[in-house]
Structure 1
Amino acid sequence: MKGIKKIVLSLLTLGVISCASRKDIIYLQDVNDKTEQSNVLEMDSVHFNPLTIKPDDRLTINISSINPEAARPFNLYLSSFNTGGLTANGQQQQQSYLVDKDGCISFPQLGDLKVAGFTRVQLEKHLEKKIKPFLPDVKANVQLVNFRISILGEVARPGEYTINRDKISVLQAIGLAGDLTIHGKRDNIKIMRDVEGAIKYYHIDLRSKGFMNSPAFYLQQNDVIYIEPNKPRVNAAISSPTNSYIISATGLLITIISILTR
């Protein structure tokens, strides 16, 4: 009888250990939510470095002027034998520029231009300065069209996401993927980033506000976020159907023996 009690106690202990505690689940646990006549809990300064253009980025660049015809030679339009490069509303489609391995693009009228290392706004000003002698009222608009991030692991909707703005934090990215599942480890989020041909790894803990000071808090193009599964999830994945049957049969046997030995 004592042996049976020990087995039951061991199973109960295993069940308790397998359960996730509140400290494993809650985000930003160290944010002080006790306020005195104020809706502002705390203020933390977060530094944002604007995205810089890298090799293999794809850009759209539109050069405009009061006189559209004068700006036309500085725009790269898409040619098409069937539609003449026109959209449904009759406007010509612009072709994107692929930044080569040396960080350059071939720009109409100006030739090869080094663009890597510029932010989007810096490149706009750089182009306006170069074109201004030919087009005094020039206005440049640059867009990064391949700002993509990948989110893998324990989230509701893993996959690749295209970002249509210049700035997105890791929390916003996780929101796009439908948040972490209950099985995702909050304390060891991994972010992989390509830095000049080498992969740099960042680790952040969503349970503490300290992760907002990480260089990876704001994401860059082609960042990969990986959410690791917790131990119960791993154990459930590696357990075979046979093990489940054995555990169920053992539990049934213990119950029968307990009843017969009362």
Structure 2
Amino acid sequence: MKSTIKIYLLSIVGVFSVMSCVPLKESIYLQGDMAINLEDLEGQYKIDKADYLVKPNDLLYIRVTSLDDRSSAFLNNESGYNAMAGNAMSASLLGYRVGLDGAIDYPFLGKIYVAGLSLQEVAEKVELAASKFIDQSGAIVKLLNDHVTVMGEVKSPGRFLMNSEEISILEAVALSGDMTDFANRKRIRLIRKDGETPQMIVIDTTDEKIMFSPYFYLKPGDIVYVEPRRLKQWNLTAIPLGLAMSVVSASILVYSLMLR
């Protein structure tokens, strides 16, 4: 009888231990020893980053500049740009939408075809068009629809503005509050639309080699979906540790009473 009770108690303790723990190794990003041998690895790895290419329906912020601001004022909506600084809605209204034909319609400069060009190449093209009206002109071009979406097993899923021209998949996860205990860090789905056909790539964030992947840095419009681990099917890690300890304590008390 006593041996049966002992086995019962040990089974309870074992089950709750498994239910309340997630293996540490499965929670660590960028595993490996590459950081130890960076000098030895110099030249063996190259981060493959491609410039973002403008596509139809993109929204562009464009401002023409010159040595004399008054010379370029007629090409810019100065009051609108000042209001845009603190108002996202104003930014969407004042931006230049790339049409299905791949062109923007810029006042005084006419149609400028920008699809398939990098932001720097668009700036150069606008600068060339503006040079017909003003000397020593320049242009600033930024993307206004620069957002990424993070969903799935993260603490705060949502749509996030890219706060810099490039953002890594780990930075995007950090913006969403990091992954939950249920997250499968070895299966992160990246959904990207290049051209007409969307791509879906599965990324293992525990593998440090992703830092040299063309998918490590996100592009505007990317969707990151964090898959759940199988553990969530039984909702095991959701059991509070305090509850588990209470059950164990109660079992020990019952065992002690039965021995009397």
CA distance in 2, matches of 1:115, 1:86: 22
The code of the aligned residue for 1:68 comes to: D
Q: For residue 177 of structure 1, what is the aligned residue in structure 2?
A: 176
SS of alignment partner, residue 232 of structure 2: helix
Q: For this pair of structures, how many residues does the alignment match?
A: 243
Which position in structure 2 is the counterpart of 1:153?
Answer: 152
How far apart are 1:162 and its partner, in Å? 0.7
Matched, 1:225 2:224: yes
What does the per-residue CA deviation read over 1:211-233, in whole Å, with 9 as the maximum and x for residues that have no partner?
22333211011111111222333
More strand by share: 2
In structure 2, the residue matched to 1:58 is 59
The structural deviation recorded for 1:22 is 2.3
Tell me the distance in 2 between the aligned counterparts of 1:68 and 1:34: 52
Q: Per the alignment, do residues 41 and 147 of structure 1 end up closer, same or farther by CA in structure 2, a change over 3 Å counting?
A: farther
Q: C-alpha separation between the residues in 2 aligned to 1:42 and 1:170?
A: 23
What does the per-residue CA deviation read over 1:105-150, in whole Å, with 9 as the maximum and x for residues that have no partner? 1112232222111111111111222332332311111111120011
Give 2:243's aligned residue: none
Q: Residue 50 of structure 1 contacts residue 166 of structure 1 at CA under 8 Å; is this kept in 2?
A: no
The 5-angstrom pairing of residues 19-98 of structure 1 reads 19-32=21-34, 34=36, 44-75=45-76, 77=77, 87=82, 95-98=94-97
* Match of residue 242 from structure 2: none
Q: Specify which structure has the bigger relative contact order, considering alpha-carbon pairs within 8 angstroms and separated by 6 or more residues.
A: 2
RMSD between aligned alpha carbons?
3.5
Tell me, yes or no, if the aligned pair for 1:4 and 1:254 is still in contact at 8 Å: no
Report the CA distance between 1:158 and its aligned residue.
1.8
Does the 8 A contact of 2:61 with 2:144 survive in 1?
yes
Q: Deviations over 1:183-229 (max 9, x none)?
A: 22110011111222332111111111122233321101111111122
- Which ranges of structure 2 fall in alignment gaps of 5 or more residues? 84-89, 239-245
Q: State the distance in 2 between where 1:164 and 1:66 align.
A: 29
**Is residue 64–residue 130 contact of structure 2 (8 Å, CA) maintained in 1?**
no
TM-score, scaled to structure 2: 0.76
Whichever residue aligns with residue 107 of structure 2, its letter is P
* Bigger fraction of residues in helix: 2
How far has the Cα of 1:64 moved from its partner? Answer: 1.6
Contact kept in structure 2, 1:34 and 1:41, CA below 8 Å:
no
Gap change, CA 1:198 and 1:259, over 3 Å in 2: farther
Secondary structure of 2:150's counterpart equals strand
Tell me the percent identity.
29
TM-superposed deviation, 1:261? 7.8
SS in 2 for 1:155: coil
SS at match of 2:185: coil
* Structure-to-structure mapping, 1:107-256, within 5 angstroms: 107-236=106-235, 256=254
Tell me, in whole angstroms, the C-alpha distance in 2 between the residues paired with 1:56 and 1:24: 40
Cα deviation for residue 12 of structure 1 reads: 5.3
The answer to whether the Cα contact below 8 Å between 2:112 and 2:126 also exists between their aligned partners in 1 is no
Q: Taking structure 1 as the reference length, what is the TM-score of the superposition?
A: 0.75
**How far apart are the structure 1 equivalents of 2:255 and 2:163?**
64
